Amino acid sequence: MKVESSKLKARSFGMILLLLTTFCILPPAFPAGERWSGVDESVIEKYAKEQGREAREPFINTDQGDLLLFVFLMAGAIGGFIAGYYWRKLTEKRVD
Amino acid sequence: MKNDSKFRVKSLAVIIFPVLLTAYCILFSASSAHAMHISEGILPLNWAALWSVIALPFVAYGLFRLKKVSSLALSIKPLVGLMAAVVFIISCMPVPVPTAGTCSHPCGTAISGILVGPSISVLVAAVALLIQALFLAHGGLSTWGANVISMGVMGSFAGFLTFKALRSMRVNMAVSGFMAGLLADWATYFTTSVELASGIRGDSPFLPLFWKILIAFVPAQLPLGIFEGAMTAGVVVLLYKKRPDLLVKMRVLKREEVI
């Protein structure tokens, strides 16, 4: 079992390494100027603009400077805490 | 015994792969956050209203199902809480796709569709989308209905039905979970293309614009669908190992499959 498991770990590691190398080598499908923009910009807003429609500012606009980073970090931290709390509740304490 | 060892080894592979891939994606994600749902104002008001009207009965039925199921089994509550947090985090996590040079996000609704059922999963997605639209500049209030239909309804039902169909053909749980995640992700972006093409086309014909948008999604969503499949398989297998009784209670598995 231990031998099988370590073989599998080595294979998984090799596969991941190969995958990451392929990802890094392959040329991106979008021009360099648009790299790492979300598909909302590169697809949704691009085609909407072509058809004469543009995105409006959100009702509560948190997309200003580092404010968006802050709200995303808070959302991730709170969401992560809730997920961890319920995971522990599910796996350690039987409710019924 | 031997089968048990094989299962353990396979499960390990299914879990390690997405965890490492996620770690890679987080480490190499140096860009600021971008929304991937349909943003505020993109859809004309009549289309936005139509999608909201279609979405509302699904959300209402999800609420009804949640009340009914939670009155029967107390252990559903922590599972729904876990799924709500998981769907919320996953669906606002920008994952860089190096082959496309762009960022997109998985949906997580295949996981919730399988584990808590598609109706409750729609409700979970609707709440996550509402919070994201209100505070994260992610999606929009007017486009909430369209995003609920694509991510919540299509994602949950595609994931749930794929998983059920494959399990009924006695396909391995990890493979069934993987296919459910993959198809749920692709179904979500297929539906987004339909919503977008029908809403923004004006006088142009629907089909050429629809294909153009769908093909534009492919470089990002093709690999991301595989990532979502691996993630779904990992979570389902992990929960099976930790709480198989819960999966029986939620009718994900039959009792004889656990023993």
Q: B163 CA to chain A: closest CA distance, Å?
A: 22
Of B38, B81, B85, the CB nearest to A44: B38
Contact B12 A8 (CB under 8 A): yes
Chain A residues near residue B5 by CB distance under 8 angstroms: 1, 4
Contact B77 A95 (CB under 8 A): yes
Q: Among A16, A44, A50, A72, which would you mutate to test the B interface (most chain B Cβ atoms within 10 Å of its Cβ)?
A: A44
Domain coordinates in residue numbering, chain B: 2-258
Report how many Cβ contacts below 8 Å link chain A to chain B. Answer: 201
Chain A residues near residue B100 by CB distance under 8 angstroms: 28-30
**Tokens found for residue B177:** 């979970």
From first to last of its 259 residues, chain B has per-residue pLDDT tens of: 455 555 555 555 555 555 444 444 444 443 333 446 888 888 999 999 999 999 999 999 999 999 998 888 777 889 999 999 999 999 988 888 887 888 888 999 999 999 999 999 999 999 999 999 999 888 889 999 999 999 999 999 999 999 999 999 999 999 999 999 999 999 999 999 999 999 998 888 999 999 999 998 888 889 999 999 999 999 999 999 888 888 888 888 888 777 6
Other Cβ atoms closer than 10 A to A5: 14
For residue A73, how many C-alpha atoms fall within 13 Å in the half-sphere facing its CB? 6
Chain position carrying tokens 């629809």: B210
Of A19, A72, A96, the CB nearest to B136: A72
**Contact call for residues B4 and A10 (beta carbons, < 8 A):** no
Pairing of β A37-38 and β B102-104: parallel
Beta bridge partners of B96: B103
Q: Among A41, A43, A56, A59, which would you mutate to test the B interface (most chain B Cβ atoms within 10 Å of its Cβ)?
A: A43
Chain B residues near residue A48 by CB distance under 8 angstroms: 42, 196, 200
Fold annotation for B2-258: Arp2/3 complex 21 kDa subunit ARPC3 (1.10.1760)
Say whether B33 sits in a helix, a strand or coil.
coil
* A42-67 pLDDT tens trace: 888 888 888 888 888 888 888 888 99
Residue in chain B closest to A64 (alpha carbons) equals B137
Distance CA B114, CA B93 (A): 21
Pairing of β B95-97 and β A37-38: unpaired
